[in-house]
């Protein structure tokens, strides 16, 4: 089997007007894309619902009910932040985990939590995804 032919490298002199032909459309396209992308928010790019709840484990805080504001049912819940409101020096030692379900009126019910110390108040930032 023979070797493939060696292609010479292209230089500006080989195609003198190509850079100008490429730069004009790129210079038109780049500001338009930059303007569009700069104005987009998380909500524009991702169907999601962010919520902040206070869970007080000094008593049973559950169930907590949240309205489902997404066009579809939530299928995933991510805890993006967990803040101990009683002590700035104490963070959770394990990732908190919430149990949840959909209830008949379209709301989301947070039904329980794992990984949160007893007798402590927490601010939880949640992200629901379809």
The predicted pLDDT at position 89 comes to: 77
Angle at CA 58, nearest 5°, toward 52 and 61?
45
**C-alpha–C-alpha distance, residues 128 and 98, integer Å:** 12
The predicted pLDDT at position 2 comes to: 62
**C-alpha–C-alpha distance, residues 37 and 128, integer Å:** 23
Q: Domains of the chain: which residue ranges?
A: 45-129
Could you report the per-residue pLDDT of 106-130, keeping only the tens digit for each?
899 999 998 888 888 999 999 999 8
The predicted pLDDT at position 65 comes to: 93
The predicted pLDDT at position 53 comes to: 94
Question: What residues of the chain score a pLDDT lower than 70?
Answer: 1-10, 42-45
The separation between the first and the last C-alpha atoms of the chain, rounded to the nearest angstrom, is 54
Assess whether the previous peptide bond of 68 is cis (omega < 30° from 0): no
CB-count exposure of residue 116 (10 Å: 0-12, 13-18, 19+): buried
Q: Which whole-number Å values give the CA distances from 20 to 4, 10, 29, 33, in the listed order? A: 31, 15, 14, 20
The predicted pLDDT at position 28 comes to: 84
The predicted pLDDT at position 101 comes to: 94
> The tokens 């489902």 sit on which residue?
68
The predicted pLDDT at position 54 comes to: 92
């Amino acid at each position: 089997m023979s070797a493939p032919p060696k292609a010479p490298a292209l230089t500006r002199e080989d195609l003198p007007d190509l850079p100008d032909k490429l730069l004009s459309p790129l210079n038109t396209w780049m500001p338009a894309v930059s303007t569009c992308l700069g104005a987009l928010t998380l909500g524009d790019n991702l169907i999601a619902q962010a919520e902040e709840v206070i869970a007080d484990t000094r008593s049973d805080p559950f169930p907590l009910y949240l309205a489902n504001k997404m066009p579809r049912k939530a299928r995933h819940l991510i805890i993006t932040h967990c803040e101990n409101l009683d002590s700035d020096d104490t963070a959770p030692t394990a990732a908190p985990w919430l149990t949840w379900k959909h209830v008949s009126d379209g709301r989301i019910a947070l039904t329980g939590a794992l990984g949160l110390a007893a007798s402590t108040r927490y601010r939880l930032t949640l992200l629901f995804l379809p």
